[in-house]
């Protein structure tokens, strides 16, 4: 076809413009997949608070039940606030998939940690290793869905921590591993995700197709 | 896909409109989208977008649901299977018209 008329009287340039428009809009839809970085920051802070509190009061058995309950309440409150305050949105298929992964991981984790706390299993190596592996698994699935290499690296960090825990002979290296995971795998990753969300929201909205 | 007299495929006129094509391209990657979000992403006006959405609805390419988010009314759109099929046909027609350069 030359640059003459094609179907519907459209020229080749016109058709190429349509393709460019489709590509831009499909990319725009993909970019709108929320990453919800604040959840990671919140849970990083909750866990760091719990670790710090436990170190200062090692025999106080309510540290983790209080911290985890507070974390769940804040997560729910934040989710409801976010839902109410978001004026314009879309729900992408990817977002739904990632939401399902983390939602189910949250339920599994609550059951697992709750039972372990109740039965005082929380300082066993296998308990901590499984905890790190479960979080790493959720990160890995999210990374696959979103095709996001940074999150893939975070998943690897959690899994490396899960493996390394088995080689710890004292409490100090275990604590170091947990602190690294919380600071890098939760807080720093959450801050990075929030930075990307902010950049995307300030991005070139409106391709003026109208 | 009907061909015209030169053997070239006809482009679906409902999809070929710039704004309607932009909306369908946005909707293909999302489960559902708010009217305001679509307006922001396409840079269109309320009136223009509303009119184009009505055309897409009449063609059966999108489905609209009205609901409340808290106290705020929300108009949500999602692409129908017919819309997906029509967009796929449109892309195939574009490919043929551009000589498989895509």
- ipTM, two decimals, is 0.80
| Residue A134 C-alpha, separation from nearest chain B C-alpha, in angstroms | 28
**Four-point Cα dihedral A102, A107, A110, A116, nearest 10:** -110
State the average pLDDT over residues A168-176: 91
Interchain pair B102, A19: CB under 8 A: yes
For residue A2, how far is the Cα from the chain centroid? 49
A87 chain-B contacts, CB cut-off 8 A: 36, 72
Interchain pair B40, A209: CB under 8 A: no
Pick the closest to residue A88 from B26, B58, B21 (CA basis): B26
Q: Which of A2, A4, A5, A7 to mutate to test the interface with B (most CBs of B within 10 A)?
A: A7
Distance in angstroms (rounded) separating the CA atoms of residues B23 and A22: 9
Span of A74-78, A98-102, A166-170, B67-71 with lowest mean pLDDT: B67-71
The confidence score (pLDDT) of residue A12 equals 82
What is each CA distance from B24 to A21, A79, A204, B35, B87, in whole angstroms? 11, 29, 19, 13, 8
List of E strands, B19-82: 30-34, 62-69, 72-79
Write out pLDDT tens, residues A5-42: 555 567 888 888 888 888 888 877 766 555 578 999 99
What is each CA distance from A183 to A106, A127, A154, in whole angstroms? 19, 20, 11
Write out pLDDT tens, residues B33-83: 889 889 988 999 999 999 999 999 999 999 999 987 767 788 999 999 999
What is each CA distance from B63 to A7, B3, B67, B82, in whole angstroms? 27, 28, 13, 10
Interchain pair B22, A26: CB under 8 A: no
Q: What percent of chain B has pLDDT over 70?
A: 87
The confidence score (pLDDT) of residue A1 equals 47
Q: 3-state SS of A22-89?
A: HHHHHHHHHHCCCCCHHHHHHHHHHHHHHHHHHHHCCCCCCHHHHHHHHHHHHHHHHHHHHHHHCCCC
Write out pLDDT tens, residues B15-27: 999 999 999 999 9
Tell me the residues of chain B between 42 and 101 that have a Cβ less than 8 Å away from chain A: 42-45, 48-49, 52, 69-70, 72, 91, 93-94, 97-99
Tell me whether A202 touches chain B (CB under 8 Å): no
Interchain pair B21, A7: CB under 8 A: no
Interchain pair B70, A16: CB under 8 A: no
Pick the closest to residue A31 from A201, A207, A184 (CA basis): A201
The confidence score (pLDDT) of residue B99 equals 78
For residue A13, how far is the Cα from the chain centroid? 42
DSSP code of A101? H
B7 chain-A contacts, CB cut-off 8 A: none
Task: Please state, rounded to an integer, the average pLDDT across all residues of chain A.
Answer: 84
Residues 6 or more apart in contact with residue A169 via CB below 8 angstroms = none
């Amino acid at each position: 076809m030359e640059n003459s008329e094609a179907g519907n009287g459209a020229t080749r340039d016109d058709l190429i413009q349509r393709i460019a428009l489709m590509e831009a809009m499909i990319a725009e839809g993909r970019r709108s997949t929320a990453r919800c970085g604040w959840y990671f920051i919140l849970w990083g802070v909750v866990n760091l608070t719990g670790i710090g509190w436990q170190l200062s009061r090692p025999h106080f058995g309510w540290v983790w039940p209080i911290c985890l309950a507070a974390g769940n309440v804040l997560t729910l409150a934040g989710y409801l606030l976010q839902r109410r305050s978001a004026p314009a949105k879309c729900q992408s298929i990817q977002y739904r998939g990632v939401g399902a992964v983390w939602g189910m991981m949250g339920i599994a984790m609550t059951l697992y940690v709750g039972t372990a706390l109740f039965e005082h299993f929380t300082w066993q190596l296998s308990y901590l290793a499984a905890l790190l592996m479960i979080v790493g698994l959720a990160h890995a699935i999210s990374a696959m869905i979103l095709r996001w290499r940074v999150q893939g690296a975070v998943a690897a960090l959690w899994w490396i921590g899960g493996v390394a825990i088995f080689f710890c002979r004292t409490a100090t290296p275990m604590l170091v591993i947990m602190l690294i995971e919380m600071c890098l795998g939760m807080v720093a990753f959450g801050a990075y995700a929030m930075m990307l969300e902010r950049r995307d929201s300030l991005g070139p909205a409106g391709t003026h197709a109208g | 896909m009907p061909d015209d007299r030169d053997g070239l495929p006809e482009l679906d006129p409902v999809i070929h409109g710039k704004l309607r094509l932009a909306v369908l391209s946005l909707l293909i990657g999302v489960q559902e989208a708010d009217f305001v979000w679509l307006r922001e992403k396409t840079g269109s006006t309320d009136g223009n977008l509303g009119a184009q959405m009505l055309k897409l609805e009449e063609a059966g390419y999108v489905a609209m649901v009205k609901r409340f988010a808290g106290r705020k009314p929300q108009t949500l759109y999602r692409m129908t299977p017919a819309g997906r099929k029509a967009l796929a046909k449109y892309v195939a027609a574009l490919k043929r018209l551009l000589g498989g350069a895509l």
